[in-house]
Amino acid sequence: MKIGFIGLGIMGKPMAKNLVKAGYDVIVADKFAPGAVEELVACGAKAGSSNMDVGSQADIVITMVPNSPHVKEALFGEDGAAKAMKKGAIVLDCSSINPIASREIYAELEKQGIEMLDAPVSGGEPKAIDGTLAFMVGGKQEVFDQCKDILAKMGSSVVRCGEIGAGNVTKLCNQTIVAVNIAALAEAMQMGQMCGVEPQKIYEAIKGGLAGSTVMNAKAPMMMDQNFQPGFRIDLHIKDLNNVVDAAKTVDAPIPLTQTVLEMMKILHHDGNGSYDHSALLKYYQKLSGETLHH
């Protein structure tokens, strides 16, 4: 089985590496990251000359790109992989996009006899490197069964959530919870320090209790170190929360907490912080208080 991989950014590059390490025949393409393509080739992958070239050779094409337009371009653009894919091939889209777009993309692929799963991930760069991502998957059960082992080489959790689009609906839920959690963590740590308690002591005392979380363990040390290197960029989280807003509108779901954190992130973006990790939500509170969090 040949696996094509399009999109070798912060997440895609380590994911593709893990497939190579697992022994799969992997062909990669990313015209925006030629250095990453060379790195994958050095690890044992093959370089596709284009997305279409990848599509012509692969039984499964994995896409890991920023948003809906990029997925559509990778598959259906002038150099689109889907133009050369065989009937019965599978697109495994690991991008985090609007579930409505996932359904639109599948409708186009279906006309060509191509199957699809939407399989966005959670865990950020560290878990992409470790191969311990969480996959949230939408699509037919039989297609999921064909791809589950492949996903398991890149993640420690692979759950089918429903039909096409269900994976991205679940990812939007995930992104809401993560965003609100990080904002609450930043707010509490900043307030605690301003009340005279060392942030490190707050973290140590809380992390083993009910308020403890994977988010806290990952982001509290970054906040105390003022280390905002991504991980997961604020601008990408803004993209995800905008998709939450769009999805919520279609079903009239109330999302006041999501809306609030989205506005905070937009302020950070306008202040030039969009390329920082989303733990930089702390900067919103530091700007208001005039005080920097420390160990």
Tokens for 271? 């202040």
Q: Nearest-CA neighbor of 116 among 104, 128, 132?
A: 104
Q: Which of 171, 239, 283, 287 is catalytic?
A: 171
Q: State which H helix or E strand residue 115 sits in.
A: strand 115-118
Q: Nearest-CA neighbor of 63 among 3, 130, 133, 1?
A: 3
Task: Let me know if 148 is a catalytic residue.
Answer: no
Angle between helices 166-194 and 234-251 (to 10 degrees): 120
Helix residue spans in 112-233 (DSSP H): 124-130, 141-152, 166-194, 199-206, 214-225
Distance of alpha carbon 239 from alpha carbon 79, whole angstroms = 25
Cβ–Cβ < 8 Å for 217, 264: no
Q: State which H helix or E strand residue 73 sits in.
A: helix 68-76
What residues are labeled active site? 171
